[in-house]
Structure 1
Amino acid sequence: MIQSHFDAVVEQTHDGAETLARLRKGGVDLVLVNRKLDRDYSDGLDVIRQIKSDDQLSDVPVMLVTNYEEHQQAAVAVGAVAGFGKLALSDPQTHALLEPILG
């Protein structure tokens, strides 16, 4: 676990099944999903679809981490909150985007 800018604990999962299992335990304020997953390079949009189609988990805010606007739009279309690109993590605009969720 890593300490973040928002005094939040960051936990990492590696695929959709692991992510869903962790979310079912509760206590997660925000899910950040990479556009392509590191472990198998699968599509992060599939993980977002799985979360948003699960009645127990659909209220958890999810953001896609990608620099591509068309992928951001696709994520929002399936229920995600507009996200940000990897290089923008430390930008003031990104902090403003995360503040309402992570306070």
Structure 2
Amino acid sequence: MSSRELVRQEWVKLLDTFSRDFAGTMARLEVVGTGGAQHVIVDHMPFAGMTADLKDGEDSVVVSFAQGENGVFDHTVSDVQNVSIDELNGRVARVEIASGDGTTTVFSLHDDSGK
């Protein structure tokens, strides 16, 4: 698996493309604290999309999951310092979003996605 950090100007375009490519794929979202403690936010839920908001210095990323028929669960990461991706076989398999508070939000696709 190869990893690379995205420059800020790439965040919106790459996350939009990633969202189109993997919408509906089962995924996991967890937050890793500064001491390494992990807190699972979502596990094995359909991915709905990921967007970056860079205007007015917001620097936030929202990760969305489909919930029920018409529901959506959003998780917002504020004060984003960097976004990095891990690729496997030429496709993004994992996104790490580092926040100014020292936490890292980790998004990963489930292997059984079939995509």
Normalising TM by the smaller chain, what interval?
under 0.3
What TM-score comes out, normalization by structure 2 length?
0.26
Task: Return the structure number with greater strand share.
Answer: 2
More helix by share: 1
CA radius of gyration, larger in: 2
* TM-score when normalising by structure 1: 0.27
